[in-house]
Amino acid sequence: MLKRPMLIVTISYIIGIILGLYLKTNIALFMCIFCILIISMFFINLKKQYKYLKTIIICFVILSCSLIRVQYMERKFDNLYNINCSEVAFEGIIIETKNESQYYTNYIVKVQKVNGNKKYKNTNILLRVKKEKNQRDLRYGDLISGKIILQEPSIRRNYKGYDYSQYLKTKKIYVIGTTNEIYVMNKKSTLVENMWISKLRITLKNNLRRLLPNKSANIAITFLLGDTSLISKEEKKTFSKANLSHILAISGMHVGNVILAMNFIFKRFDKRKGKYIFIFILIVFSQLTGSSPSITRAVIMSSIMIASKLMYRKSDVLNSISISAFIILNFNPYNILDLGFQLSFLGTLGIVLFESKIVQILKMIHSKNNYVFKSEFLKRLINKTYTLITVSIAANIMIFPVLAYTYNRVSFIFIISNILVAPILGIMSLVGYITAFLSMFSINLAKFTAFILNIIIMTFNFIAEKCSEISFLSFVVTTPSLLLILAYYLILIYIFYFYRKEQNKMLTRLISATIILVVLSNLFVINNSKFNIYFIDVGQGDSTLIITSTNKTILIDGGGSEGSSYDVGESVLLPYLLDRGVKQIDYMIFSHFDSDHCKGLFTVMENLKVRNAVISEQGESSDNYNYFLMLVSKKKINVIQVQAR
């Protein structure tokens, strides 16, 4: 019997989803190959393979079902895309109010009818309503109608670039609708069961804005209610550099605090009935905080733990993680593309799999150095510090390949930032929820705890800003290949679980051989010695990357715009170069210093090594040219000024 059946089921389901997303060959061909493999194994050695056959068949069925489901979902909305850019009659229910842009107010709407047809009922769309002076105030649950223009979400425009359509799919949104006017058909929603949760969420947001300064209120709303739309781009960049982005997500720590509070409130009541109430409150808490993959994982795992106590059974952490992943992915397979899902599950797996091993290593180092602390306080402090370090390392060794792939940055600042921030996080969560709870009854009553909360948030923000300024522990890296990431995880498993273990000879050899093959495939890539020219879509302006047969890199212009907060260099050009494996520019050519040609290049100069900058003679000085002179002086870049012949 398998000790962890749900682990096998979930792994099969995940493999099926990945194949469904990336497999380009025919599904039937894949299924035939797999069937031949199973039949071959069965006939080669019937006695030995029979005990594994049931497991293999179950895995294959689950894998095939998830693969077929994803490919069906990929094709499901082809008819919607066929009516792209055409006007349709539409009815739907508002299920979420999103952030506002300059010209539009955005809503997520659950479709009821399209052109009078219920074929696409319960499909989510992102509805953009043009701002008007006399526009109606649309709210959660409103049944609305109108004429809308359907558009397919934009896909990636550059090599490995940002794919907006994939992001929307993680939110179960497949199409965008644009309209100038919407009519409210019914204010009384059919979504009555969620109406009061939405109202409570809006009330708590407004109360926190009244009690706290703007910056602190935005962080509090993000940290307590999971709404990241209020955090500015600069603040997100600061938290990312400090390796504290994951702390802003609602996770197990928040759920733990809710459970502690419920234990305190219900400890005098019947314990068995109290556990049922716990599970109900956790589900409500998940809805209140946005039901992101990270909070859903924590709530499901906590509910399983509580349910196991009700049934007098011991819960298994890996099975709990597997069940929560299976439920989340079954609800929406595209959640596997969600960064929050990846970081939450990988971080939790890292703590479960590696923390005890890291503790053993640190204790061994500690015992070899023969440090003895007579003071009980020092012993507790050292043990607490060890716990913070080991938990942080265990989580980060699992998530850092994903961060490197997503953000092109490897950082060891987490060792400092997490230790400094960890002691105040629990207090910030507790005081925050107390403030939110009190604000529902009296704003004046909540002012005292809000004052304390503001101090804690300011301290947290100060630590984040200072840690983000520590540059020597952070490195820009080229985008690792998926094979290299696979090799990294296999090496981790090998080091922690199979190194010097004789009882797993066959598995050890298999993992060792796989690691060697994957690493060799990455190290010894055949150089085709081709001369390549890449034209990069940077929006306004243009940009061209040339890679010669001798691997020299030439970058001509970089796009940009005057007076815009959007940094095309940071958002498009730099990630593109790192995705192409370019970390050094041999010749950077500026055609001229208008913003739409040079601004994107400045970001590249700040982050990558540039050997030579090629410019023409300047007729007059400008802000862009002066900034260029400052950068070449600071980075010690050789300037080549071309002359007319």
Segment 382-409, tens digit of pLDDT: 666 777 778 888 888 888 888 888 888 8
Per-residue model confidence as pLDDT tens digits over 243-256: 777 777 777 767 77
Could you tell me if 613 and 640 are in contact, meaning their C-beta atoms sit under 8 angstroms apart?
yes
CATH assignment of 532-642?
A: 3.60.15.10
Examine the pLDDT at 27 and tell me if it is beyond 60. no
Contacts of range 434-439, beta carbons closer than 8 Å, 24 or more positions apart = 435/208, 435/211, 436/204, 436/207, 436/208, 436/224, 439/204, 439/207, 439/208, 439/210, 439/211
Task: Mark out the alpha helices in 87-232 (DSSP H runs).
Answer: 164-169, 192-211, 214-225
pLDDT of residue 504: 52
How large a percentage of the chain has pLDDT more than 90?
A: 12
Examine the pLDDT at 638 and tell me if it is beyond 90. yes
- Compare 98 and 283 and report the one with higher pLDDT: 283
Hey, which of 139-143, 171-175, 548-552 has the most confident mean pLDDT?
Answer: 548-552
Examine the pLDDT at 513 and tell me if it is beyond 80. no
Listed range (288-297, 339-348, 363-372, 576-585) with the worst mean pLDDT: 363-372
Examine the pLDDT at 527 and tell me if it is beyond 60. no
Q: How confident is the model at residue 25 (pLDDT cuts 50, 70, 90)?
A: very low
Instruction: Mark 243-279 as b/e (b = at least 16 C-beta within 10 Å).
Output: bbbbbbbbbbbbbebbbeebeeebeeeeeeebbeebb
Q: How confident is the model at residue 526 (pLDDT cuts 50, 70, 90)?
A: very low
pLDDT of residue 91: 87
Could you tell me if 124 and 146 are in contact, meaning their C-beta atoms sit under 8 angstroms apart?
no
Parallel, antiparallel or unpaired: strands 409-411 and 584-589: unpaired
| Angle value at C-alpha 92, between 97 and 140, nearest 5 degrees | 30
Rounded to the nearest 10 degrees, the angle between the axes of helix 293-310 and helix 317-331 is 130
Could you tell me if 293 and 341 are in contact, meaning their C-beta atoms sit under 8 angstroms apart?
yes
Examine the pLDDT at 577 and tell me if it is beyond 90. yes
Q: How confident is the model at residue 585 (pLDDT cuts 50, 70, 90)?
A: very high
Q: How confident is the model at residue 515 (pLDDT cuts 50, 70, 90)?
A: low
Could you tell me if 536 and 553 are in contact, meaning their C-beta atoms sit under 8 angstroms apart?
no
- Compare 563 and 25 and report the one with higher pLDDT: 563
pLDDT of residue 1: 43
pLDDT of residue 63: 80
Write out the two tokens for 204: 């708590």
CATH topology of domain 79-190: OB fold (Dihydrolipoamide Acetyltransferase, E2P) (2.40.50)
| CA–CA separation, 225 and 141 (whole Å) | 20
Examine the pLDDT at 171 and tell me if it is beyond 60. yes
pLDDT of residue 455: 93
Q: Over range 254-267, report the average pLDDT.
A: 71
Examine the pLDDT at 503 and tell me if it is beyond 60. no
Examine the pLDDT at 334 and tell me if it is beyond 80. yes
Q: Over range 464-490, report the average pLDDT.
A: 82
Could you tell me if 69 and 14 are in contact, meaning their C-beta atoms sit under 8 angstroms apart?
no
**Partners of 109 in the β-ladder:** 94, 125
Could you tell me if 110 and 123 are in contact, meaning their C-beta atoms sit under 8 angstroms apart?
yes
The pLDDT mean for the chain works out to: 79
Q: How confident is the model at residue 131 (pLDDT cuts 50, 70, 90)?
A: confident
Q: Over range 439-444, report the average pLDDT.
A: 88
- CA torsion, ordered 432, 435, 436, 440, to nearest 10 deg: 180
Per-residue model confidence as pLDDT tens digits over 79-89: 666 655 567 88
Per-residue model confidence as pLDDT tens digits over 591-627: 888 888 888 999 999 989 999 999 988 767 788 899 9
pLDDT of residue 179: 85
| CA–CA separation, 2 and 4 (whole Å) | 6
pLDDT of residue 507: 53
pLDDT of residue 480: 86
| Angle value at C-alpha 226, between 222 and 229, nearest 5 degrees | 60
Q: Over range 485-506, report the average pLDDT.
A: 67
Q: How confident is the model at residue 270 (pLDDT cuts 50, 70, 90)?
A: low
Instruction: Classify residue 558 as exposed, middle or buried by CB count within 10 Å of its CB (0-12, 13-18, 19+).
Output: buried
Q: Over range 626-633, report the average pLDDT.
A: 91
pLDDT of residue 391: 81
Q: How confident is the model at residue 422 (pLDDT cuts 50, 70, 90)?
A: confident
Examine the pLDDT at 484 and tell me if it is beyond 70. yes
Write out the two tokens for 54: 């049931």
Could you tell me if 150 and 176 are in contact, meaning their C-beta atoms sit under 8 angstroms apart?
yes
- Compare 562 and 407 and report the one with higher pLDDT: 407
